[in-house]
């Protein structure tokens, strides 16, 4: 779980190919990420599956924007058919907060790298040093 007492600036970070990632973590391909990412917890497993689905084979997710990511990848990673739900799954303020917080947690744990890209951001799949 994300440590609310650790500021992003206080994390020991590396920069690789313009991406900020946890020190010791490495950028990985989609296949390596899928092979070595633990399926722990509903939110973590759903988000890592959705990130892998959004990434190209090299592990890059260009021009990431949460609303598009949510519609295109998170709903399918949940494993539910939207047609089967009594009420629609929508992207709202709470969803935005959850995705932002979860993305920060993945960065703190070494499972994601980020770089600014003007109005959007680029993401890259990563694995922490302890993941082989």
Span 97-113, pLDDT tens digits: 999 899 999 999 999 99
| Torsion sign, CA atoms 49, 57, 20, 74 | negative
Taking residues 49-57, report their average pLDDT.
95
| Torsion sign, CA atoms 8, 42, 52, 121 | negative
Lookup: tokens for 96: 């935005």
The Cα–Cα gap between 62 and 39 comes to: 24
Instruction: Inform me whether the pLDDT recorded for 121 exceeds 50.
Output: yes
Q: Which of 24-28, 29-33, 52-56, 113-117 has the lowest mean pLDDT?
A: 113-117
Instruction: Inform me whether the pLDDT recorded for 53 exceeds 50.
Output: yes
Q: Side-chain half-sphere of 73: how many Cα atoms within 13 Å?
A: 19
Rg (CA), the chain: 15
Task: Find out whether 127 and 25 touch, Cβ atoms under 8 Å.
Answer: yes
pTM > 0.75: yes
* 107 vs 9 pLDDT, higher one: 107
Task: Find out whether 128 and 74 touch, Cβ atoms under 8 Å.
Answer: no
Q: What is the pLDDT of residue 8?
A: 54
Taking residues 2-30, report their average pLDDT.
80
Task: Find out whether 69 and 47 touch, Cβ atoms under 8 Å.
Answer: no
């Amino acid at each position: 779980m994300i440590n609310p007492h650790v500021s992003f600036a206080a994390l020991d970070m590396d920069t690789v190919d313009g991406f900020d990632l946890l020190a010791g973590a490495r950028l990985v391909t989609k296949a390596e990420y899928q092979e070595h990412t633990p399926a722990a917890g509903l939110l973590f497993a759903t988000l890592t599956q959705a990130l892998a689905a959004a990434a190209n084979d090299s592990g890059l997710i260009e021009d990431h924007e949460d609303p598009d990511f949510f519609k295109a990848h998170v709903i399918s990673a949940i494993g539910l058919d939207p047609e089967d739900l009594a009420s629609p799954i929508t992207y709202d303020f709470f969803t935005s907060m959850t995705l932002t917080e979860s993305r920060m947690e993945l960065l703190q744990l070494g499972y994601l790298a980020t770089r600014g890209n003007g109005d959007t951001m680029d993401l890259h799949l990563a694995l922490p040093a302890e993941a082989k």
